Structure 1
Amino acid sequence: MSAGTVDIPFLSNISFMLTYKCTIACPHCIVNAGPNRKEEMDVVRALDWIDQAAAYDEGKVRGLALTGGEPFYNIDHLSRISGYAHKKGLVTSVVTNAFWAKEKQPALEALKQVPSIDYLSISTDVHHQRFIPIDNIRNAVWAARETGRHYNIAICTDNEESPEYQAILRQLATIVTPDEIRIAVTYPAGRALKHHDSYHHKSTATPTVSACTMASAPVVYPDGNVMACIGPVLTLPGPCPLRLGNLNENSLETILDNAEINPLLQIIRIWGPAKLVSLLNHAGKSDLLPAEYISNSTCDICYKLFSDERIIEELEALLGNREYLNIIAFARMHYLQEPDMVRALRLDGRETIDSENVLLSQEN
């Protein structure tokens, strides 16, 4: 299994989930966002957490992504938090459904209220468009261009061959270029679990082999929990190796330092979660593994593996081996040009590593 390339250097960007409130309640929403949710990040706490992020490891964190729910639901909070991040030298982005862009002028005025936002990721898909038409996306892109903001369109689907999905792509082609579109496969987690019978995922017995880019940017939630990503594992009720800590109990520095040497997290970043399946197979634990996975979805692999406490226990036992930690550290340095784990483990390059180790195997 070859290691993939991760576009975002580890911990160079973090996300704040500002609110669970949203103008709509899509059936595929993994965080169950909607108009009736009330939880949102306290502004004073958010500013303190920005201070901690900006101070971490001599400026290692360079970007702050603001997500939800719908961050524009409370535009005053969005403006204050993004403005403070800007003062601290962080490049700030926001994820939005563009409900505020029914017409061009209101869209322009909305963006003028958040001058510190550098980048917009505008979400749309079949479910969004039942409430928020394509013209909102067109107007939001126009306003972004008028105010000199960078932007992309984020679209998800349960089946890339779906006629409805293909129709949206054709509409988007009249607004943006193909390289400005980001595509993701949905998965049954959160609210989507209630509607899983209506989805048309393609399944495979072989997990998708791909390094995970999402695991490079931790997400802070309103309750202070810090997760390794904003994928479906955040919905799991029990212990999860990708739950990095809570800011009400530890500093952000402590949590991020521990993330640097988290073996499960770093394997997902270097080789992808399919490597965890490979490890379990090699250890004779194939009976614990799922029978199938959603095609082209690395998130689905993590979700299914970490939904099973027995699998978590087996993986943690396997990866408690110091030789494995050393291999992971040197793999990060080799594949991702990240020496941080090597330094944290105080390795000097004289360690003996078995080239036949299962971590270095090309087998899935």
Structure 2
Amino acid sequence: MRLKGSADATMRGLGELVFSTTNKCNARCQDCPIVPSTRPSARLRLKDMTGIVDEVHAWGSLKLVVFTGGEAFLLGDDLRKAVSHISTKGVSTRIVTNGFWADSKGKALKILGDLKDAGLTELNISCDDYHQAFVALDNVKNANEAAIEIGLPALLVHRRKPGGTITVEYLSNYLGVDLQIWRAGKVNSDNNVICTSRNIPLSPHADADGANACEYADEREWAGPCQSVLRSIIVFPDLSVQLCCGIALNWIPELTIGSLPEDTLQTVLTRGNQDLIANWLALEGPSSILDFVRSKKPAINLAHRYVGRCHLCNELFTNPEVRKVLVKHAAERREGLLMMRGALDWVANDWAAPAAALEHTDASPESATPGESCSPVES
């Protein structure tokens, strides 16, 4: 099923572009949904990243490009060259790293200094019990101090592990600074600030020692629209394109909207923009899909608490019974989503073109396996 509009306006609201630069990493965090996979080792080429940036920038709405991984610093000098290319367009850049490269203060100063000179505007450093099993905390300290010294904004990114050692307080003491908690929608400091969140149990590779341990959230924290779908896209090393920020498992079919070797970027984004499931997630969120599925099949085996929206989304779309319900009944939400989408397009004019029509092709519930899409589209 599709919400169909013109292609050109599809691009106007794309403000954030994420490059999952490589599926390689020096760390092997057992809770990671990206690195411990059966996919062959791959990385994005410099010409692919700059070409995609040039195309998206031409649409006029691009504000931020994020480099993540795997471990983005494994790209070597291509990372600096990509940052330099993007900075000439007045677009902000952010690199997410575990800091493995900062094994001395001097080395950290040189590497970050070169990146800042190239135009890097922000550094995110992952630091918690999961990452510090592979990277020394001294590396985090070196990177953090170097960023402060050269005037580069740096955010520490922390996931809480129940019963873990590396808490925010522990980090403050180790780094010798008073870390401030980052607050969404608020004015935050450029440095010595930390974003702490619950661990999201997404990876099927997690071992039995508690890598998937988590704190569950109040329902108010996982209800409501997804804040990523149709607002940003992520490009993976194999040039597949995903609709969300990449936290959810990247092999959920509904989150992958195409592959650039086979399709143009405009075609891929138009396809995602017209997808029923994508619009449902963006407009009402996975909690609405959960309620809908339960209304159709009350006895379905689904939990009643989740860590957040990403956890819930993952639980829904990796459940074969949920997929069967959606293939059979999702069309019933067509008109309601169309009205919501049309109203937002008219008021905000920053999504894709106004949805003019819905097209529906029946799909068999028997086809709703975890490897197939449960958002029917035209063939």
1-structure distance, mates of 2:50, 2:141: 33
Q: Match for residue 303 of structure 2?
A: 291
Aligned-partner SS, 2:24:
coil
Structure 2 match to 1:46: 49
Larger relative contact order (CA 8 Å, sep ≥ 6): 2
Structure 2 CA distance for partners of 1:319 and 1:138, relative to 1, 3 Å = same
Long gaps (5+) in structure 2: 1-11, 183-192, 358-379
Q: Structure 1 342/38 Cα, relative in aligned 2: closer, same or farther at 3 Å? A: closer
The separation in 2 between residues aligned to 1:331 and 1:132, in whole angstroms, is 48
In the other structure, the counterpart of 1:104 is 105
Aligned counterparts of 1:204 and 1:142: Cα–Cα separation in 2: 33
- Other-structure match for 1:62: 63
- Cα distance between partner residues in 1 of 2:329 and 2:52: 34
1:312-338, CA deviations, whole angstroms, 9 ceiling, x for partnerless residues?
Answer: 34335544354123233046459xx63
Instruction: Label 1:341 to 1:329 Cα distance change in 2 as closer, same or farther (>3 A).
Output: farther
**Cα contact 1:101–1:139 (8 A) shared by 2:** yes
Which residues in structure 2 correspond to 1:273-292 (within 5 Å)?
A: 273-282=286-295, 284-292=296-304
Looking at structure 2, the residues matched to 214 and 126 of structure 1 have their Cα atoms a distance apart, in angstroms, of: 26
TM-score computed with the length of structure 1 as normaliser: 0.79
The residue aligned with 2:367 is none
Aligned equivalents of 1:164, 1:191: Cα separation in 2: 24
| In the alignment, structure 1 residue 224 sits paired with structure 2 residue 236 | no
Which of the residues 211, 215, 218 maps onto 2:225?
A: 211
Which residue of structure 2 lines up, in the alignment, with residue 182 of structure 1? 195
Residue equivalent to 2:317: 306
Amino acid in structure 2 at the alignment position of 1:213: Q
Q: Measure the CA separation in 2 of the matches of 1:53 and 1:31.
A: 25
1:27–1:195 contact (8 Å) kept in structure 2: no
More helix by share: 1
2:94 match: 93
C-alpha distance after superposition, 1:32-65 (max 9, x if no partner): 259x97311122222222222222xx31222211
**Residue of 167, 170, 175 corresponding to 1:165:** 167
> Structure 1 residues 47 and 90, CA, compared in 2 at 3 Å: closer, same or farther?
same
For 1:232, the aligned partner's letter is A
Give the one of 280, 303, 306 matched to 1:267: 280
Normalising by structure 2, what TM-score? 0.76
The 8 Å contact of residues 101 and 108 in structure 2, kept in 1 or not, is answered as yes
Cα pair 1:12 1:62 within 8 Å, conserved = yes
Which residue in 2 is equivalent to 1:353? none
RMSD (Å), alpha carbons: 3.1
Give the deviation of 1:102 after TM superposition. Answer: 2.4
Change (3 A) 1:198 1:17: closer
Measure the CA separation in 1 of the matches of 2:121 and 2:137: 23
Alignment-derived partner of residue 242 in structure 1: 255
Q: 1:113 to 1:308 in 2, by over 3 A?
A: same
Q: For residue 177 of structure 2, what is the amino acid of its counterpart?
A: T
2:249 paired with 1:233: yes
How far off is 1:101 after superposition?
1.9
Determine if contact 2:87/2:93 at 8 Å carries over to the other structure: yes
The answer for the alignment partner of 1:145 in structure 2 is: 148
Provide the secondary structure at the position in 2 that maps to 1:267. Answer: helix
The letter of the residue matching 1:269 is A
Amino acid across the alignment from 1:186: N
The number of residues matched between the two structures is 328
Change (3 A) 1:333 1:242: same
Q: Is residue 132 of structure 1 aligned with residue 129 of structure 2?
A: no
**CA shift digits 1:241-261 (9 cap, x unpaired):** 111111112111122223333
1:68-117 deviations in Å (ceiling 9; x for gaps): 11111222111122222223432111101111222222111001232222
**Which amino acid is the alignment partner of residue 78 of structure 2?**
H
The sequence identity of aligned pairs, in percent, is 23
Q: Which amino acid aligns with 1:156?
A: R
Q: Which amino acid in the other structure matches residue 84 of structure 1?
A: H
Structure 1 residue 121: Cα displacement: 1.0
Structure 1 unaligned regions, length at least 5 = 1-8, 348-364
Distance 1:259 1:173 in 2: 46
Does structure 2 conserve the Cα–Cα contact (< 8 Å) formed by 1:189 and 1:235? Answer: no
Aligned partner letter, 2:249: V
Structure 2 CA distance, aligned partners of 1:342 and 1:109? 42
Alignment of 1:245-256 (within 5 A): 245-256=258-269
**What is the distance in 1 between the residues matched to 2:176 and 2:271?**
43
Contact 2:342–2:355 at 8 Å: present in 1 too? no
Give the drift of 1:28: 1.7
- Which stretch has the larger CA shift, 143-152 or 77-86? 143-152
- Aligned residue identity for 2:242: M
Cα 1:211–1:158 change in 2 (3 A) is: farther
Whole-angstrom CA distance in 1 between matches of 2:176 and 2:90: 34
Read off the aligned partner of 2:63 and give its amino acid letter: R
